[in-house]
Amino acid sequence: MSTTFRLTRSRRFRLGTQGSGSHWRAEDTHDEAAFARSEQSLVHYERILQTEAEIAEVPVDLLKAICWFASGWRQFEPNGRALSTPTPHGTTWGCMQLNDVWHPDAFPAAMTDAQASIQYAANLLRWLYEQTTDWDRAATAFFGHDRRAELAARRVNRYVAQRPWSQRIDDARSPETHAVEVENAAVAAAAASV
């Protein structure tokens, strides 16, 4: 049994159960094109992560590694629903897996907008650094203040060193993909100059 709530004009959310706890689940499914846009280009995520890290003045590879750990740079599930993970204390959403209880200011945008999720996470990471004056401690605090947070931060540090996303980005930049990116950039530039 679940109850539907109307939280915004454009989306309905249902409080349901999965596993051990209740969570919010986006009831509207994203069309295939929206899903393809979110998954098609790791290069797109790389650009967003790069830009938001520079704006927030956080280490780019640290933000990339946190996002990689949280979601593998995915905003949506393969079925097109917003990526979500029920936890004992709310639900984590989107590519940065932000918790809706601990970070209510990030919602509802962080559920479906990768840039909003990354921007919020970058600013949070910067704030945590200002509190701790140490990027390792800030990364641990990003995930909480328990043993699981320490383990997550260790994995993130390994990702910073190994950069596992690099090979997938290189694969995504196949000659065909590169040609499409060049064509899209040319179309965007032409549209901007009009």
More confident residue, 164 or 93: 164
In a domain, 37, yes or no: yes
In a domain, 86, yes or no: no
- Over 90: is that where the pLDDT of 125 sits? yes
The pLDDT, as a whole number, for residue 24 is: 37
More confident residue, 60 or 26: 60
In a domain, 167, yes or no: yes
- Name the most confidently modeled range: 8-12, 124-128, 142-146, 171-175: 124-128
Model confidence band, residue 67 (pLDDT cutoffs 50, 70, 90)? very high
In a domain, 25, yes or no: no
Report pLDDT digits (tens) over 51-61.
Answer: 999 999 999 99
- Over 60: is that where the pLDDT of 3 sits? no
In a domain, 183, yes or no: yes
The pLDDT, as a whole number, for residue 31 is: 44
d(CA 13, CA 28) in angstroms, rounded, equals 8
* pTM attached to this predicted model: 0.67
In a domain, 23, yes or no: no
Domain residue limits at 57: 31-75+100-193
What is the maximum alpha-carbon separation in the chain? Answer: 55
- Over 70: is that where the pLDDT of 176 sits? no
In a domain, 90, yes or no: no
The domain total for the chain is 1
Model confidence band, residue 123 (pLDDT cutoffs 50, 70, 90)? very high
The pLDDT, as a whole number, for residue 177 is: 59
d(CA 80, CA 156) in angstroms, rounded, equals 26
User: pLDDT averaged over the chain?
Assistant: 75
Model confidence band, residue 175 (pLDDT cutoffs 50, 70, 90)? low
In a domain, 152, yes or no: yes
